Structure 1
Amino acid sequence: MRAADIMTTKIVSAGPEMSVRLAAGTMVFAGISGMPVIDEDGKLLGIVTEGDLMHRAEIGTGVKPRAWWLEMVASTRELASQYVKEHARKVRDVMSTDVATVTEACPIADIAELLERRRIKRVPVMRDGKVVGVVSRANLIRALVTMAPELPVANDIKDHSIREAVTAAMEGQPWALARENVIVESGTVHLWGQIVSAEEGNAIRVAAENAPGVKAVITHFGLPTPDLSSGK
């Protein structure tokens, strides 16, 4: 498998002039812990993550004062950088600029090693200098569950064709899964995602079962947590 096979293509991103508060809200409502920062020309400038927003003056989570002798040892550059992280209002001032990237052809084993070595949770996927996707740890874990030994090229192409057929079968439906939530290994289709109802899950499963070449369909669906506060 390669980055192109598992990456998320619906990219949630920030602009360098976006406010820190809006960036935090965007991540919360999108259910993500980080996003690429892209300028108006589509150039990748950096990544803003939960880690970049952990220590903020507004919520009293700034780095606690250190002993006076540690303050003396700390460089002016370090103290200034810490101040900016805690007080800056724009994404451009808090984002991480040392960004690791991969191409669509990058093997997922290499991506896993990169995430581990850099201690990061996601990596942008690039094509011709533009971000076309993001591979996160969650994407890798999904692939891991369905991972099989490498198959001959012909079989790999067959699985790819099945995946495209399953995606096409759901196209235009309000309950359709995103392409990155469909993984095929040796003709077995694995479907991932959160569904609203059992009926929605059945529709997704039937669409996959009717795709040419499918040997089996395995669902990994989650249902929303019921609201117990209403007493229902």
Structure 2
Amino acid sequence: MKVRDVMTTPVVSVDAEAPISLAIRLMLQKKISGLPVVDPCGNLVGVVTEGDFLRRAETGTQQTRPRWLEFLMGPGVAAEEYVHSHGRKVSEVMTRTVKTVDEATQLTDVVALMERNHIKRVPVLRGKKLVGIVTRANLLRALVSYMHPASAPAIGDAAIREAILRELNSETWAPVATVDAIVRQGIVTLSGFVLDQRQREALKVLVENVPGVKAVRDDLVWVDPVTGTTIKPEEKEAMRTRH
């Protein structure tokens, strides 16, 4: 899936020369935590977020440091912080270095970009023009669409088991040699043993994601590789219905 499939367009943006009060009102009205900032030609020049208004002179939250520390840091840092806490225009408080993507970018790359830079939104550009934005909410909506697909035709037990075994063989963590899956009317019974309890949960999740599975019964035994102790699943957790 690509950015063009999930991005929000048109984008709510704010002009770089607009007063910060306008940016704040837009964020409150639209219930969003950040805005792309554009110039009169519609080119992206920055981003302004709630975080840019945390340290403001009006609320008495501006950055304060001991004199000796300000001396060591030099006047430039203090001057920059003063502009940020006292500036009246969006251009004076916005973040100028912005991570962007284009419409053909894969969502996997967008997620990696968000994680790597600890950001919640990524503007989408066509050349220099702002044409959309991808936020975490966009990604959640895309996820929901995948989790509630259109009704699929019924799948036989043999086909379900074949799909499960195929998935098991594709995962490096899966104990293929010690686990089996029996399917009866869409209900899968996992039997055999695992050497790590985390494999038990992963196996159940893997099976639940196979089309046609109605429920998973856990008959797996955990064998402690050090002591040889065997532990069966608790009865209340043995059966899990797929939602």
TM-score between both structures, scaled by the size of structure 2: 0.59
Q: Choose between structure 1 and 2 for higher RCO, CA contacts under 8 A separated by at least 6 residues.
A: 1
Q: Deviations over 1:89-138 (max 9, x none)?
A: 00011111101110111111100110111111111111132111100111
Residue of structure 1 equivalent to 2:8: 8
- SS of match in other structure, 2:104: coil
Partners of 1:97 and 1:187 lie apart in 2 by 43
Q: Which residue of 2 aligns with 1:38?
A: 38
1:149-228 maps to which residues of 2 (within 5 A)? 187=150
Which residue matches 1:228?
A: none
Q: Hey, what does 2:103 align to over in structure 1? A: 104
Aligned twin of 1:134? 133
**1:147 CA displacement:** 4.1
**Partner letter of residue 97 of structure 2?**
D
Bigger radius of gyration, 1 or 2?
2
The alpha-carbon deviation at position 72 of structure 1 amounts to 1.9
In the other structure, the counterpart of 1:28 is: 28
Counterparts of residues 80-91 of structure 1 (less than 5 Å): 80-91=79-90
Paired AA for residue 37 in structure 1: V
Q: What is the Cα-based RMSD across aligned positions, in Å? A: 1.7
Q: Which runs of 5+ in 1 are unaligned?
A: 149-184, 189-232
In the aligned structure 2, how far is the partner of 1:146 from the partner of 1:73?
Answer: 54
Q: CA deviation at 1:187?
A: 4.1
Taking structure 1 as the reference length, the TM-score comes to 0.61
The Cα shift of 1:81 comes to: 0.7
- Aligned to 2:32, the other structure's residue is in SS state coil
1:130 is aligned with what amino acid? K
Give the aligned residue type for 2:101.
Answer: V
Distance 1:140 1:75 in 2: 42
Question: 1-side partners of 2:127 and 2:73: how far apart?
Answer: 41
Q: For 1:110 and 1:147, how far apart are their aligned partners in 2?
A: 19
Alignment correspondent of 1:19: 19
| Residue of structure 1 equivalent to 2:220 | none
Give the Cα separation in 2 of the matches to 1:34 and 1:59. Answer: 20
Aligned residues: 151
Question: Which structure carries more strand by proportion?
Answer: 2
1:25-48 residue CA offsets vs partner (Å, 9 max, x unmatched):
111111111111111111111111
- Equivalent residue, structure 1, for 2:58: 58
Q: Give the unaligned 5+ runs of structure 2.
A: 152-243
Q: CA deviation at 1:83?
A: 0.2
Q: How far apart, CA to CA, are the structure 2 residues paired with 1:24 and 1:2?
A: 31
AA aligned opposite 1:51: G
Letter in 1 for 2:108: A
> CA shift at 1:186, angstroms?
5.3
Distance between the aligned counterparts of 1:135 and 1:129, measured in 2? 16
**Matching residue's letter, 1:17:** E
- 1:155-202: per-residue Cα shift (whole Å, max 9, x none)? xxxxxxxxxxxxxxxxxxxxxxxxxxxxxx7546xxxxxxxxxxxxxx
Letter in 1 for 2:126: R
| Secondary structure in structure 2 of the residue aligned to 1:58 | helix
How many angstroms apart in 2 are the aligned matches of 1:89 and 1:21? 8
Identity of aligned residues (%): 47
The letter for the 1-side match of 2:72 is: V
